[in-house]
Amino acid sequence: MALHIEDAEVNRLATTLAKLDRTTKTEAVRRALAQTLDARRRAVKRKGFREFAQKLVLEAREQPVRPVTKQEMDDLWGMHIVDGD
């Protein structure tokens, strides 16, 4: 199916992109649209992740922080030192 572009500027841009990519105008437009949609989807995901991370930071700041004991640190590292060793 042919792509009919009536807007002169859009037609010029599609032609230029097609020549650069050595493809048809239809394929150039398809790739450009796919890339734009992909970039927007990534931006939405980044925004969602950023908002989620900010929420976690705010929640973490509200929690009281207590020092970690030596025993807790040793447990985290898997170190179980027995007296006399």
- The rounded distance, in Å, linking the Cα atoms of 60 and 47 is 20
Entry pTM:
0.56
Per-domain residue ranges of the chain: 8-77
Residue 2 neighbours by CB under 8 Å, 6+ apart? 26
Q: Per-residue pLDDT tens for 35-78?
A: 999 999 999 999 999 999 999 999 888 888 888 898 898 888 88
